[in-house]
């Protein structure tokens, strides 16, 4: 799971937690994109796993929709101080997890920042809060197990045979400035992996 648009979201989250940005730190006109990848050991095997992944994808969309509604109905939960405090609590949980999972090698600040900025709880709240704040629509598309003809050669090993759920802060795919929802994600993945 991750957020791929705006491309510098991890930096913005880090700056927000550090008190250098205020909420909302994503502008209304900016495109937000979120992704969820499904598949154990990099692939889905059989109809049962595909159905389970599709069900999980549907439950994920329902959860995000409820979260957006909750933030929309509780504007105080989008206040900079409240949000920063909420993120900081999650940061403390992450630091304890990292400390407990580290053997003899202490984790660096850059490792910590990377883990925080990529945390699923923080990212899903960030996505939902900004949709609620800007009163935007949301659109999701789930892709059945991706085949090699959907993927550039450089991403096949990573994505072939896996399902993908993409979400955006627009009403539908026609509102995107890309040929397809998948194209937006693949462009980001190519940059991310280079």
User: What is the pTM (predicted TM-score) of this model?
Assistant: 0.91
* pLDDT at site 182: 94
* pLDDT at site 34: 97
Q: Which of 27, 37, 34 is nearest to 5 (CA)?
A: 34
Q: Which of 43, 62, 33 is nearest to 182 (CA)?
A: 33
Q: What is the pLDDT along the chain (194 residues), one digit of tens a residue?
A: 999 999 999 999 999 999 999 999 999 999 999 999 999 777 998 999 999 999 999 999 999 999 999 999 998 888 999 999 999 999 999 888 877 776 556 667 777 778 888 899 999 999 999 999 999 999 999 999 999 998 999 999 999 999 999 999 999 999 999 999 999 999 999 887 76
Name the residue ranges covered by the structural domains of the chain: 2-193
**Is 1:57 a contact under the CB 8 Å cutoff?**
no
Radius of gyration of the chain (CA): 17
């Amino acid at each position: 799971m991750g957020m791929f648009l705006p491309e510098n979201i991890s930096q913005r989250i880090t700056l927000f937690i550090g008190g250098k940005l205020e909420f909302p730190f994503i502008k209304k006109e900016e495109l937000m994109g979120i992704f969820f990848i499904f598949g154990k050991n990099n692939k889905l095997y059989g109809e049962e796993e595909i159905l389970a992944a599709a069900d999980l994808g549907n439950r994920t969309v329902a959860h995000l929709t409820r979260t957006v509604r909750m933030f929309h109905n509780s504007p105080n939960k989008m206040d900079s101080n409240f949000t920063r405090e909420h993120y900081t609590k999650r940061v403390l949980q992450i630091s304890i997890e990292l400390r407990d999972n580290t053997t003899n090698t202490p984790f660096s600040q850059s490792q910590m920042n990377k883990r925080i900025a990529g945390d699923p709880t923080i990212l899903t709240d960030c996505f939902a809060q900004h949709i609620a704040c800007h009163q935007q629509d949301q659109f999701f598309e789930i892709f059945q197990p991706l085949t090699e003809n959907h993927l550039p050669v450089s991403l096949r090993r990573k994505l072939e045979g896996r399902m993908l759920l993409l979400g955006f802060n627009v009403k539908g795919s026609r509102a995107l400035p890309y040929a397809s929802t998948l194209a937006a994600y693949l462009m980001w993945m190519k940059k991310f992996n280079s």
